[in-house]
Amino acid sequence: MLEKGRLGTRALATLTFMMVVGDMMMIYPSVITSYAKQNAWICALIGVPIGMLLMAMFLKLGKAYPDKNLIAISRSILGFWPGTLVGCFYLYFFVIGASTHTREVGDFMTTQLFQYTPIRVIILLFVIAVSWGVYNGIESMGRSSELLMPVLVLCFCLVPKIDTSNIKPFMDTDVVSIAQGILVSVIYPVGETIPILMLLPYTSSQGHRNRDLIMAAGLGNLLLASLVTIAILVLGAFLTQHNIYASFILMQKISIGDFFQRIEALMASVWLISTYFKAMVYLYAFTIGIAELFKLKRYIFLILPSSMLVFAFANLVAPGVTFIIITVVPYWVDWDTTVGILLPGILLLIHVFKARVNHIKLRS
């Protein structure tokens, strides 16, 4: 087996929560509000149970092949060459995902906190930290995620600033926009946890594992829904939509007793931690997927070239944050839908069909 370390169920659930929250903690309110306006909080809440069902689908696919990761599962279901093609598509998604998360960190840090620092320096430091985490193995990733679990109760310090008129009028958005908002509430937080299927074979198989992972996905999505609701109630739909870092703006408005205030740097640290773990899982999925694709016995020596590839892509994926918002985000939904819903759903349907056919043959 490529990975000799083993993840505990709690550590995997924590990583799942981190991946659901991930980079979405900062940009999710503005993205979903751009579709559903002041009704975005309704779409976000509807997306919580649907996201849990999507995670259950991932786990059902992984349970059918408990000793195989996503690349091996694709080959087992579709055959060698079609499965290899699907596996390459997922590997491309993993490396671009890791690169995009890295670029988001660079853009945020250089526009909000370190305006005079070259973005390549931020990206390089982040890639070094991510690659070091992958180098230390899956057990270290899981245990460190438990230690650095973010505490996000700070958002509820904004309750005195809530204005309920910001969510009126109700349901005045057209059906298409509401449907798009619900899709975003499912596919962005939970659909992007598809790399979990690269970790399942190296996780202790306990009876409550699936339950814990589904609950972690639901709690993470519920947290994001709460963040969207508070953002709309405090800032209003217009400001939430047009501030890409709406959560960062929210933290600037916290003021308790004129001494507990301006804690946006703490919010940035929490976001940086969750994004770090998401990027680390994506890089790990890419490196171990390459090793699986070429039937290698070790993946450690792939970490350095993979990290260099992520660094290069992070600098090339977009010229700036404006390009990401205007050009990348509208099409990223379609990409996430393909890799997070369509392809896993097709793989699961083909598996069920093959199992039925084999069962009929055995009976006859």
DSSP string, 193-246: GGGGGGTGGGB---TTHHHHHHHHHHHHHHHHHHHHHHHHHHH-HHHHHH-TTH
Is the pLDDT at 23 greater than 50, yes or no? Answer: yes
For residue 120, give the H/E element and its range. Answer: helix 119-135
User: How far is residue 58's CA from residue 24's CA, in Å, rounded to a whole number?
Assistant: 20
Query: Does residue 261 or residue 105 have the better pLDDT?
Result: 105
Average per-residue pLDDT for the chain: 84
Check if the beta carbon of residue 141 is closer than 8 Å to that of residue 281. Answer: yes
DSSP string, 55-116: HHHHHHHHHHSTT--HHHHHHHHH-HHHHHHHHHHHHHHHHHHHHHHHHHHHHHIIIII-TT
| Lowest-confidence region among 62-71, 151-160, 167-176, 185-194 | 151-160
User: How far is residue 51's CA from residue 23's CA, in Å, rounded to a whole number?
Assistant: 17
34, two tokens: 């751009």
pLDDT at 255: 61
Give the pLDDT mean for 50-71: 91
> What is the share, in percent, of the chain residues with pLDDT greater than 90?
32
- Residue 249: pLDDT band by 50, 70, 90 thresholds? confident
| Lowest-confidence region among 57-61, 204-208, 251-255, 268-272 | 251-255
| Lowest-confidence region among 123-132, 187-196, 259-268 | 259-268
Amino acid at 132: W
* Confidence (pTM): 0.91
pLDDT at 333: 87
- Residue 7: pLDDT band by 50, 70, 90 thresholds? confident
pLDDT at 327: 77
- Residue 91: pLDDT band by 50, 70, 90 thresholds? very high
Check if the beta carbon of residue 6 is closer than 8 Å to that of residue 204. Answer: yes
pLDDT in tens, 182-222: 898 899 889 889 999 998 888 877 678 888 899 999 988 98
pLDDT at 274: 84
